[in-house]
Amino acid sequence: MTPFHHPWGELCLQRWPRRRNETLQAWDNADLYLLNTLAERGQALGNGDNAPKTLVLNDQQGALCLALQQAAASALDIESSGDSYTAAAAARANAVDNGLDPDLLFCWPLDAPKQSPDQVIMRVPKSIALLQWQLQWLSGHLPKGVPIWLAGMDKHLPRQLVPLMQRYLGNGRAEYGWKKARLFSAQAPGRVLADTDYPCRVDALQWRLTVHAGVFAQQQLDIGARFFLDHLPEALHTGAKVADLGCGNGVIGMAALKANPAARVTFCDESWLALESARDNVSRYFPDAESHFHLGDGLAGLEQRFDCILLNPPFHDGHVVGDHVARRLFNQAAAALVPGGELRVIGNRHLGYHKVLARRFTSVTVLASNAKFVVWRCQGPTPSASNLLD
């Protein structure tokens, strides 16, 4: 693990959940460039009453908010917010490891910062929709003139970033680049200048779904989800417990509810805005259903066991593409099924999930396939399933 040397000290940062043989670093040059710039311009945290209150947005693993905590007279001067549960959990775990305060003030996402910030520093989110929504939020909630700093790695920055800043903040410019990272600066306009299109409305089955900014399949139903909808379990027993794992807008769990109105569905996602979308949609179309909503890393933290787990797995973790999250969710599913229960999962044909699933389940059956996707039924977790590396 490479220590993160920043202007006010040093942090040992790890990604979360912790993995054996992790190869990915938990901070990057965009974090460092942003902190160096604040330090150079004297805009770090001062002392006592004059310490600027800082709102940190979209911190990835805690590099920004924990470095500022090391600089600050009081951890209370920093609030950190973002849409990702796993990013917040990473920051908390890293705070503990570095002897810092894990009870950073996480506000999900931007609902109610406890204090009006004097400055905002943010990582540019992967989703342009989320970026727009956050910029608009800042325009409507910050007093005029509050400095806003954005940072990202060149390869991840959207080309329309400055025009979007101009649109929502009325100003904004690119600063110099440094080691493949870039900074942008703006000032809060003190009022909302432009509307966003979020939440979006997406038609699926007979529903018009609410999809909040940045949630998967923003404009239309995902083609994988569409195929999966044709191959969901139809006759579950009364009161069957179902999990919609990685629920996004909730469409898969809602289809299970439509076919099995007496099922009890738990909608799970690590994105707060995804879970809010699912909550909105379920309460509109299934107000009487017994549904639960779980914000977390998959099924972690749930005591409950399930008769059926439905999964259209993610194929990336932020900017990192790979199947490590899917494998973790498969492991969790194997551990969370009742005897005789099933995981029903859809995957892109080229990802080769069959082998990965066969190490975790004694029975893996192809239920349907087309040129792009395969739907599997997985039963009988293998005894070693819970010990497999994620």
Ligand X SMILES: C[S@@+](CC[C@H](N)C(=O)[O-])C[C@H]1O[C@@H](n2cnc3c(N)ncnc32)[C@H](O)[C@@H]1O
Using CB under 6 A, list all residues that contact ligand X. 86, 216-217, 222, 225, 246-248, 251-252, 268-271, 274, 297-298, 312, 314, 325
The values of phi and psi at residue 214, to 5°, are: 85, -5
Q: How far is the CB of 297 from ligand X (least distance, A)?
A: 4
Strand-pair partners of 363:
379
**Residue ranges of E strands in the chain:** 4-6, 9-11, 54-57, 78-81, 105-107, 119-123, 147-153, 173-178, 181-187, 200-204, 207-211, 241-245, 264-269, 290-295, 306-311, 316-317, 320-321, 337-348, 361-369, 373-381
Query: Could you identify the residue written with the tokens 């490479």?
Result: 2
**Euclidean distance between CA atoms 127 and 318, whole angstroms:** 9
**Euclidean distance between CA atoms 250 and 209, whole angstroms:** 9
Closer of 250 and 341 to ligand X (Cβ) = 250
Q: How far is the CB of 228 from ligand X (least distance, A)?
A: 6
Closer of 90 and 325 to ligand X (Cβ) = 325
Q: How far is the CB of 299 from ligand X (least distance, A)?
A: 8
Q: What is the dihedral of CA 83, 86, 91, 95, to 10 degrees?
A: 140
Q: How far is the CB of 322 from ligand X (least distance, A)?
A: 12
Q: How far is the CB of 269 from ligand X (least distance, A)?
A: 4
Closer of 166 and 369 to ligand X (Cβ) = 369
Closer of 199 and 298 to ligand X (Cβ) = 298
The values of phi and psi at residue 175, to 5°, are: -95, -175
Q: How far is the CB of 210 from ligand X (least distance, A)?
A: 13
Q: Which two tokens stand for residue 298?
A: 């998959």
Closer of 183 and 336 to ligand X (Cβ) = 336
Closer of 59 and 317 to ligand X (Cβ) = 317
Closer of 70 and 348 to ligand X (Cβ) = 348
Q: How far is the CB of 312 from ligand X (least distance, A)?
A: 4
**Euclidean distance between CA atoms 300 and 130, whole angstroms:** 26
Helix, coil or strand: residue 381: strand
Q: How far is the CB of 310 from ligand X (least distance, A)?
A: 8
CB within 8 Å of 161: residues ≥ 6 apart: 124, 131, 150, 174, 184
Closer of 58 and 86 to ligand X (Cβ) = 86
37 alpha-carbon distance from chain centroid: 27
Alpha-carbon distances of 189 from 144, 167, 319, 321, rounded to whole Å: 5, 11, 30, 36
**Residue ranges of E strands in 68-187:** 78-81, 105-107, 119-123, 147-153, 173-178, 181-187
Closer of 120 and 251 to ligand X (Cβ) = 251
Q: How far is the CB of 68 from ligand X (least distance, A)?
A: 26
